Amino acid sequence: MTAEINVQHIGKSFKGFTALDDVSFSVQKGEIFGFLGPSGSGKTTLIKILTAQLDHNKGKASVFGIPVHEMKRADHKSRFGLLTDNSGLYKRLSVEENLSLYKDLYKLPDHAIDEALAFVNLRDARKKKVSKLSKGMIQRVTLARALMHKPELLFLDEPTSALDPGNTHHIYKGLRKLNEMGTTIFLTTHDMAEAETLCNRVAFLHEGKIKAIGTPSELRLRHSDQSMVVELTSGEQHTLPLNELTTAGKLEEWMRNQLIQRIWSNEPTLGDIFMEITGRDLR
Amino acid sequence: MNVSVKRMRAIFIKDYKEFSRNYAISTMVLMPLFLAFFYQSAGASTLDIYFLPINMTFAAVTTFIQACLIAEEKENNTLRSLMMSPASMTDILIGKSALVFSITLAVVALTMIILGFTPANLLILISALMISTVFYIGLGIICGLFTKTVMEASVAILPVMVIFSLGPLGRGLAETYPVLEVLKWLPSAQLIMLEEYSAAGQTSDVGIALAVITVWTIITLAVASILFKKRMKDE
């Protein structure tokens, strides 16, 4: 597989404050890669570096194999889409007028607007002025704008932070479909459920450093206490170590007597792992 | 140089829609017209008076509107979104200037009609007015890029308005205060002098006045471009 994003020992500091410190990772073509970290951990700084909005002090970074400082060239800019917390929409214009501007800037056919609006479930709001939209609707229009040109790579900075569960589900479905069609997705979030639902791989960023990286199941396994919980029909719960003969013996006995109600492995969530590694939660 | 007419047109249309719905800014075009009506009814007859509403148009319409359009884009973070699109710096700057350029030429033409002003050589004056328009647009871009909000831009523009629209009047005081001689090098003063030379048939002086305005324009555009490139990145 080709690395769509390649970051080697990137460092960035602002007037003595270290935002990113020796960050290295790569994102393969077709992946959905999640950067998890609390606010101020350096997630947005990294997206800005990768999209040539900010220079880094140390290390090397490339997108599509092109050094990031060259990403501001028009032909490279049309290869990626970007959604940030600042919508960058024109409030006096309607949803359609906003998208129409970007349709022309990306030189897309007229039906691109319809497709993008359908993707974010906003066809009915096309004539509405942006100033009249809710925060969640604005986020959906911004997302529509980011993916209207069907980019090879999509940078999403907290893509569902202002959305209700129904629309979040709709967006997840759409992002997965987009990914199946070949779009690589790089997203930052502090929502562990979002990362678990969407991402093939995740990295934990804390105080500018990558603390862990891997697939959600790899991380869960790595930080699991290797135990399982058995709930009996009486409601009693037993935590048993995995791969030990005593566990097998007990299980055999309970099964013989048909006492088992439920069994599950005692795996931590991504949030638990983050807490274990950094000593703080993701919010 | 990467230039796309389609992208420039898209930005122009967007700006037109925004401008027509923003009455705080769009009503500014009426100011020089009112001034022209006032001077016409007061019996304006000298070049200094004819050019007062014209130079006012450049400062209060061209520079002010351009600065506000840019500052508003910055304030709402839409400028960064434009910069992140495939539109090049040239597409954005020309697209964003086209509306103000057209409005300026229309208002200046109306002002001249209201004042009943007939230039000595229409072609030369039109050339000078067009170059001046580009200069004041550049000045507006600089003001807009330097400030963070529309409010800040509308304050930052005040000294520009005073210096460039009223500056030429200071030439009259140059005999008493020689330091004011410097005001004759302002593009607004050169515009009046160009018309004086044109009426007197002093072709070489017309060329010098046109060259001075052009130099101002080139410097302003260079500064605006450097500033724009800096604004494409965070610091």
Mind listing the pLDDT tens digit for each residue in A54-92?
999 999 999 999 999 888 888 889 999 998 877 789 999
Instruction: Supply the pLDDT for residue A91.
Output: 93
- Separation in Å, CA of A183 to nearest CA in chain B: 18
CB contact under 8 A, B233 and A106: no
pLDDT at B226 over 90: yes
pTM over 0.90: no
Contact B62, B138 (CB under 8 A): no
Nearest Cα neighbor of B141 from B34, B11, B231 is B231
Separation CA B133–CA B146 (nearest Å)? 20
DSSP state of A127: T
B23 Cβ under 8 Å from any chain A Cβ: no
Separation CA B142–CA B165 (nearest Å)? 18
Instruction: Supply the pLDDT for residue B135.
Output: 96
Matching residue, tokens 């052009």:
B214
Query: Could you please report the per-residue DSSP string of B199-227?
Result: HHT-HHHHHHHHHHHHHHHHHHHHHHHHH
Query: How sure is the predictor about A268, in pLDDT bands with cuts at 50, 70 and 90?
Result: confident
Q: Which of chain A's residues have a Cβ under 8 Å away from the Cβ of B17?
A: 92-93, 97
CB contact under 8 A, A74 and B9: no
- Separation in Å, CA of A129 to nearest CA in chain B: 12
Instruction: Supply the pLDDT for residue A159.
Output: 83
Q: Which is higher by pLDDT, A166 or B226?
A: B226
How far apart, in Å, are the Cα atoms of B127 and each of B106, B124, B134? Answer: 14, 5, 11
Instruction: Supply the pLDDT for residue B127.
Output: 95
Query: What is the 3-class SS of A32-74, one letter each residue?
Result: EEEEECCCCCCHHHHHHHHCCCCCCCEEEEEECCEEHHHCCCH
CB contact under 8 A, B82 and A104: no
Separation CA A273–CA A46 (nearest Å)? 22
Q: Map out the domains of chain B as residue ranges.
A: 5-234
pLDDT tens-place string over residues B21-42:
999 889 989 999 999 999 888 8
Contact A51, B84 (CB under 8 A): yes
Separation CA A241–CA A150 (nearest Å)? 48
Q: Which is higher by pLDDT, A281 or A146?
A: A146
Q: Tell me which amino acid residue B81 is.
A: S
How far apart, in Å, are the Cα atoms of A11 and each of A54, A71, B174? Answer: 12, 18, 58
CB contact under 8 A, A88 and B232: no
The nearest alpha carbon in chain A to B72 belongs to: A90
B43 Cβ under 8 Å from any chain A Cβ: no
pLDDT tens-place string over residues A115-150:
999 988 899 999 999 999 988 889 889 999 999 999
Separation CA A104–CA A99 (nearest Å)? 9
Nearest Cα neighbor of A3 from A61, A72, A77 is A61
CB contact under 8 A, B18 and A92: yes
Separation CA A69–CA A91 (nearest Å)? 31
The nearest alpha carbon in chain A to B21 belongs to: A92
Minimum mean pLDDT among A214-228, B170-184, B197-211: which range? B170-184
